């Protein structure tokens, strides 16, 4: 079972959250998470069948850009919104 690490900005809390989810692909992870915990995370990451432009997904530290990317058993998956700043 993979572990998804979520930043506070996506889970509405004050610290990073972790949740274990079954799935062989990134798509399956988000669909299975939505079935168990609600669709908010999936809807914050996926739009029109793609990972949103300003969301970065990493599987075992490697960036992925496809929802069909493989997720090994016991993998760590991180979801990181792109940060911006300036004046």
Q: Write the pLDDT tens digit of every residue in 1-26.
A: 999 998 777 666 656 689 999 999 99
Domain that holds residue 23: 2-81
Q: How far apart are the C-alpha atoms of 17 and 12, rounded to whole Å? A: 10
Cβ contact 62:77 at 8 Å:
no
Does a structural domain hold residue 15?
A: yes
Is residue 30 domain-resident?
yes
Residues 27-81 pLDDT 10s: 999 999 999 989 988 999 999 999 999 999 999 999 999 999 999 999 999 999 8
Q: Domain holding 15: CATH number?
A: 3.10.20.30
Widest CA span of the chain, in angstroms?
43
pTM (predicted TM-score): 0.85
What's the domain count of the chain? Answer: 1
Return the half-sphere exposure (C-beta side, CA atoms, 13 A cut-off) of residue 40: 7
Asked if 21 and 29 count as a contact pair (C-beta separation under 8 A), the reply is yes
Instruction: Give domain status of residue 87, yes or no.
Output: no
């Amino acid at each position: 079972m993979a572990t998804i690490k979520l930043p506070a900005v996506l889970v509405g809390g004050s610290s990073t959250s972790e949740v274990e989810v079954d799935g062989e692909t990134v798509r399956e992870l988000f669909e299975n998470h939505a079935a168990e915990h609600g669709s908010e995370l999936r809807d914050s990451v996926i739009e029109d069948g793609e990972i949103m432009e300003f969301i970065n997904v990493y599987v075992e530290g490697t960036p992925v850009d496809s929802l069909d990317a493989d997720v090994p058993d016991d993998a760590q998956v991180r979801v990181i919104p792109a940060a911006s700043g300036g004046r």
